[in-house]
């Protein structure tokens, strides 16, 4: 094929893709979008077309072949006189065509990794074509501003992020099915505390994704107390035909009391501590709580922190992480816990030094 013929075919392909994307951008009435907005959106997708040519396409073949309506034809004279013209699909129309815009592709790409840990495999398999189309759309449309967005934007965890625990596909599939259909499960579960595998019948209540692990919330056998089971410790699972006992489970009420990590107690406590100036600057921008206060200390550049915080493991880990940049005054048991941990750390390093000397 000659270069001229090749260029003509390329131009036709670009025009077709541009038209498909354009039709996808137009909403159904009563929502609408102006010609200027459509022109800008197409430019953001990497398509070059003049505003006059775009208006001509909309007024001509597209209006004739698709259920489009223009504001200039609105029965309300006030709306009909407005410029620039605005476009919509007819109220009864199914807007758009199966062509993904770069904005939609970007959204699917950002959601894919997160949703893989939350949605059951059956739902994910239905979304996979959309994920694949999103990847292809962004790889092909190099001029799109949304494709560049993924190269320039990252979401970073606050703290060390661990790799996700490995869950066998058949475990995930069966557990998700049991939760969706509210059916009992028979599992072989490895108890980390007892160091052994135990077979039990579970009544699923729900799933919780917490950091690198996903947990099944369930009751065991004839017991009614709620427990959680890490999916990556389930070695074998069978979905039973029997219905699970739901017992009007309320996830919102359960989570505040869930024992995913050891708790120091229930409710909130008032934390009073002195913080280093660098830490104080961070807390001024991102407060620890809504009632947080930071007060100056006499003859000192440190600040006095007062805040009501959850009495849980996350609070303790945050306190430990600040190390020498925070001195706790209240509550006393938190202060004692931090001091005790510091002593045990020092003792561990002392033992290591003695072992190295002996070796």
Q: What is the pLDDT of residues 332-350, one digit of tens each?
A: 999 999 999 989 988 888 8
Are 345 and 293 within one domain? Answer: yes
Q: By three-state DSSP, how is residue 235 classified?
A: strand
Number of structural domains in the chain: 4
With 80 as the cut, is the pLDDT of residue 68 above it? yes
Residue 189 belongs to some domain of the structure: yes
- Higher model confidence: residue 186 or residue 172? 186
With 50 as the cut, is the pLDDT of residue 165 above it? yes
Q: Are strands 68-70 and 293-297 parallel, antiparallel or unpaired?
A: unpaired
Are 138 and 176 within one domain? Answer: no
Burial of 263 from C-beta contacts in 10 A (0-12 / 13-18 / 19+): middle
| CATH (domain of 331) | 3.30.70.120
Mean pLDDT (the chain) is 81
With 80 as the cut, is the pLDDT of residue 245 above it? yes
**Residue at which a domain ends, from 207, 230, 245:** 245
What six digits make up the tokens of 163?
A: 């790799």
Residue 114 belongs to some domain of the structure: yes
Strand partners, 34: 86
Are 143 and 221 within one domain? Answer: no
**Residue at which a domain ends, from 67, 89, 111:** 89
Are 141 and 193 within one domain? Answer: no
- Domain containing 36 equals 3-89
Residue 357 belongs to some domain of the structure: no
Amino acid 270: pLDDT: 94
Are 112 and 143 within one domain? Answer: yes
Amino acid 8: pLDDT: 43
Are 278 and 230 within one domain? Answer: no
Are 76 and 111 within one domain? Answer: no
Are 236 and 186 within one domain? Answer: yes
Amino acid 352: pLDDT: 65
CA atoms of 203 and 222, how far apart (whole Å):
9
Are 322 and 301 within one domain? Answer: yes
Let me know: does 334 contact 269? Beta carbons within 8 Å: yes
Amino acid 301: pLDDT: 92
Residue 97 belongs to some domain of the structure: no
**What is the mean pLDDT of the segment spanning 304-316?**
89
Amino acid 148: pLDDT: 67
Amino acid 2: pLDDT: 45
Residue 226 belongs to some domain of the structure: yes
Q: For a pLDDT cut of 70, what percent of the chain falls above it? A: 81
| CATH (domain of 241) | 2.30.30
Q: Give the chain's radius of gyration (CA, Å).
A: 30
With 50 as the cut, is the pLDDT of residue 5 above it? no
Are 107 and 79 within one domain? Answer: no
- Higher model confidence: residue 220 or residue 12? 220
Residue 36 belongs to some domain of the structure: yes
**What is the mean pLDDT of the segment spanning 10-29?**
75
Are 185 and 236 within one domain? Answer: yes
Amino acid 256: pLDDT: 72
Are 44 and 77 within one domain? Answer: yes
What six digits make up the tokens of 177?
A: 């099915």
CA atoms of 61 and 86, how far apart (whole Å):
17
CA atoms of 136 and 130, how far apart (whole Å):
10
Amino acid 212: pLDDT: 78
Residue 359 belongs to some domain of the structure: no
Q: For a pLDDT cut of 90, what percent of the chain falls above it? A: 24
Residue 290 belongs to some domain of the structure: yes
Amino acid 290: pLDDT: 92
How many other CB atoms are found less than 10 A from the CB of residue 286?
8
**What is the mean pLDDT of the segment spanning 143-147?**
63
């Amino acid at each position: 094929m000659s270069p001229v013929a090749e260029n003509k075919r390329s131009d036709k392909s670009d025009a077709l893709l541009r038209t498909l994307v354009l039709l996808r951008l137009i909403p159904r009435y009563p929502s609408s979008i102006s010609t200027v907005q459509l022109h800008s959106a197409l430019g953001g997708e990497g398509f070059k077309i003049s505003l006059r040519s775009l208006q001509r396409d909309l007024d001509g073949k597209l209006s004739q072949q698709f259920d489009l309506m223009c504001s200039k034809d609105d029965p309300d004279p006030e709306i009909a006189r407005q410029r620039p013209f605005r476009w919509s699909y007819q109220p009864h129309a199914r807007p758009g065509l199966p062509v993904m815009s770069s904005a939609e592709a970007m959204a699917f790409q950002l959601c894919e990794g997160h949703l893989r840990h939350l949605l059951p495999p059956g739902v994910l398999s239905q979304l996979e074509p959309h994920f694949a189309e999103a990847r292809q759309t962004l790889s092909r449309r190099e001029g799109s501003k949304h494709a560049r967005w993924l190269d320039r934007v990252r979401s970073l965890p606050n703290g060390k992020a661990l790799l996700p625990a490995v869950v066998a596909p058949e475990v995930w599939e069966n557990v998700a099915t049991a939760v969706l259909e509210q059916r009992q499960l028979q599992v072989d579960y490895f108890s980390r505390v007892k160091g052994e595998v135990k077979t039990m019948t579970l009544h699923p209540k729900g799933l919780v994704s917490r950091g690198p692990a996903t947990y099944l919330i369930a009751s065991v056998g004839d017991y009614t107390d709620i427990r959680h089971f890490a999916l990556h410790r389930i070695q074998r699972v069978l979905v039973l035909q029997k219905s699970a006992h739901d017992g009007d489970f309320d996830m919102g009420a359960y989570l505040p009391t869930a024992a995913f990590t050891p708790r120091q107690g229930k409710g909130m406590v008032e934390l009073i501590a002195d913080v280093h100036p660098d830490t104080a600057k961070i807390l001024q921008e991102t407060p620890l709580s809504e009632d947080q206060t930071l007060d100056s200390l006499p003859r000192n550049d440190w600040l006095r922190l007062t805040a009501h915080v959850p009495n849980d493991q996350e609070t303790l880990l945050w306190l430990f992480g600040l190390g020498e940049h925070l001195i706790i005054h209240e509550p006393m048991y938190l202060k004692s816990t931090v001091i005790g941990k510091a002593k045990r750390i020092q003792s561990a390093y002392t033992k290591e030094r003695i072992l190295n000397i002996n070796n």
